[in-house]
Amino acid sequence: MKTIFMKGALAGIFCSLFLFGSFTDNQAVKDETLTIVATVTVKPEFKEEVLKAVKTVVGATRKEPDCISYKLFEDVSNPLKFVFIETWKSQAAIDSHNKSAHLNAFVKAIEGKTTLEVQTLKQKF
């Protein structure tokens, strides 16, 4: 009985530290940090052209001061589908990025060659 209680108590302490510790860890930063998930599906005849534009925008965006992370993934089951996962310090950082010359050039370069779905997410836990 003592062994079961001790294991349960240790598990409870571990879970409390693990779960609640994440609430206080850099909470001020997490409150403003936003993540964008943008899914781009390319028309087959434009894949190489769009990838060239993607490479340019990724390189320039990663140099922005308030860009925490900017990654591009290719769907393993659909080589025409790409997912950008972007993390920004704040909405102001996203607004600045949206006004940047390199993003606007990218948008023009892929216009009519892709479909786009964008989600902006705020971390809860």
Summarised one tens digit per residue, pLDDT across range 32-50 is 899 999 999 999 999 999 9
Give the Cβ contact number of residue 65 at 10 Å.
Answer: 7
Mean pLDDT of the chain: 84
Torsion angles phi and psi, residue 113, rounded to 5: -110, -5
Summarised one tens digit per residue, pLDDT across range 51-75 is 999 999 999 999 999 999 999 999 9
Question: What's the rounded mean pLDDT across residues 99-125?
Answer: 95
Taking the complete model, does pTM exceed 0.75, yes or no?
A: no
Yes or no: say if 87 and 35 are a contact pair by the CB < 8 Å rule. yes
What type of residue sits at position 82? F
71/91 Cα distance (integer angstroms) = 18
Question: Quick one: pLDDT at residue 27?
Answer: 52
Question: Quick one: pLDDT at residue 81?
Answer: 98
Question: Quick one: pLDDT at residue 10?
Answer: 43
Give the Cβ contact number of residue 102 at 10 Å.
Answer: 17
